[in-house]
Chains A and B, each alone.
Chain A
């Protein structure tokens, strides 16, 4: 059904347009002069001058990967290949290996002899972090992968990934690990409880 829209009443200064335009331009130029010549605390500039200043990434930002450490400095990763299986970009390559004879983890856990991530192919979806049962791979580093001019520079090996700290500056995680021999360890199989 039809209805009537009333035109808003206008004053003479609004009707002639020039006065209102001058008001608007006044705001624009006042901002401009304040931002260019004004005192630092008066400036209202939204732009982040990136290389000179930056703002922190959000808390849940998925940055470059890191491999977390155990307390003895070895990787938490047990080379179960969950992350490389979950990876939609297939950018993770792991070669598992056995711990040596006499090591308490021998015959119980494996470790990654090679752990390579192609950070250029990675799409930073975080599926690897979700898939990991050991909290061994994390993306909480708060930094992006730097750009480079060669594809080879993006192949991050195990040593590189283990050298990247988390956002809190540490290489470990808050989740405790229960090593074989610890009183909290549930046992290496069903028949050998501690």
Chain B
């Protein structure tokens, strides 16, 4: 965008383009969950949410759209698809996280749910609510329009959180052993846990511990 050295005409053209962009957003609704119902009520006659803001026509091809609505919970298995759809969109492209689940994962504190789409794709606007009111969504849409007009986009990708304790555990291979312990308990081995604990204590300083051979055999049987 035009800086201090940019000419008057250039700046005005950029402003004009931004103005045109913000009033003709072509949306791609990536609707996965219950927030989709509220997305429909937003588009209904009572709020007529997106049509009044020039974003009426949804485009179900990412190539033709420039606003990605992520509406609902995104699971780990959907994450690659979402990422791919985002990458297929042509620049300039914008992302709105609609609802608590898309923004942070909400109360799904488990291994199948992506804790916020900003772990995968840059997110422009977060709309809180479970699901959000249409008013809240329109606030988010107007905020995005302001961002487009001002040209100050801060694409925000939150890096995955590295919990030090978890990294330590993974290095020591305890997660492998936890499953192994359960397996051994099911098989009825003679006190395999003690042997495993001994191996774990010995290998405390080392890299990931290999599974002992005599335990590997049980896995096959």
Residues of A participating in the B interface, judged by any CB pair closer than 8 Å: 46-51, 54, 57, 88-90, 118-125, 144-151, 154
Total number of residue pairs linking A and B with CB closer than 8 Å: 92
Identify the stretch in B20-28, B56-64, B132-140, B199-207 within 8 Å (CB) of chain A at 4 or more residues. Answer: B132-140
Count chain A CB atoms within 10 A of each CB in B100, B116, B125, B136 and give the residue with the most.
Answer: B100
Chain B residue at minimum C-beta to C-beta distance from A149: B125
**B46 contacts A123, CB within 8 Å?**
no
Q: Is the interface of A mostly helix, strand, loop or mixed?
A: loop
Q: Which residue of B lies closest to A125 (CB)?
A: B130
Chain A nearest CB from B160 CB (Å) reads 14
Contact B134 A150 (CB under 8 A): no
B36 at the interface (CB under 8 A from A): no
- Is B104 a contact partner of A151 (Cβ separation < 8 A)? yes
In contact, B124 and A149 (Cβ under 8 angstroms): yes
**Within the complex, which residue of A122, A125, A147 is in contact with B127, where a contact is CB–CB below 8 Å?**
A147
B107 touches A149 (CB 8 A): no
| Minimal beta-carbon separation of A97 from chain B (angstroms) | 27
Query: Is B192 engaged at the interface, CB distance under 8 Å to the other chain?
Result: no
A118 touches B136 (CB 8 A): no
Q: List 13 A-B contacts (CB under 8 A).
A: A47-B46, A47-B48, A47-B52, A120-B100, A120-B103, A123-B100, A123-B106, A123-B130, A124-B130, A125-B130, A147-B126, A150-B156, A151-B103
User: Out of A90, A125, A147, A149, which one reaches B109, CB within 8 Å?
Assistant: A90
Determine if B129 and A144 form an interchain contact, defined as CB atoms under 8 angstroms apart: yes
Contact assessment for A148 and B46 in the assembled complex, using a CB-CB cutoff below 8 Å: no
Q: Which residues in chain B, 11-50, are within 8 Å of chain A measured between CB atoms?
A: 45-49
When chains A and B are docked, how far (Å) is the Cα of A122 from the Cα of B46? Answer: 26
Q: Which of B47, B134, B137, B147 touches A149 (beta carbons < 8 Å)?
A: B147
B214 on the A face (CB < 8 A): no
B46 touches A120 (CB 8 A): no
Across-interface contacts of B147 in A (CB, < 8 A): 149
Q: Which of A46, A49, A146, A149 contacts B136 (CB 8 A)?
A: A146
CA distance A147 to B96 in the complex (A): 10
Residue in B closest to A148 when the chains form the complex, CB atoms: B126
Render B132-166 as a binary contact track against A, CB cut-off 8 A, 1 for contact: 11111111101100010000001010100000000
Q: In the bound complex, do residue B47 and residue A147 qualify as a contact, i.e. CB atoms below 8 Å apart? A: no
Complex: chain B residue closest to A118, CB-CB:
B104
What chain B residues lie within 8 Å of A148 (beta carbons)?
125-126, 143
Residues of A within 8 A of B52 (CB): 47, 49
- Chain A CB within 8 A of B72 CB: no
Chain B residues within an 8 Å CB radius of A57 = 133
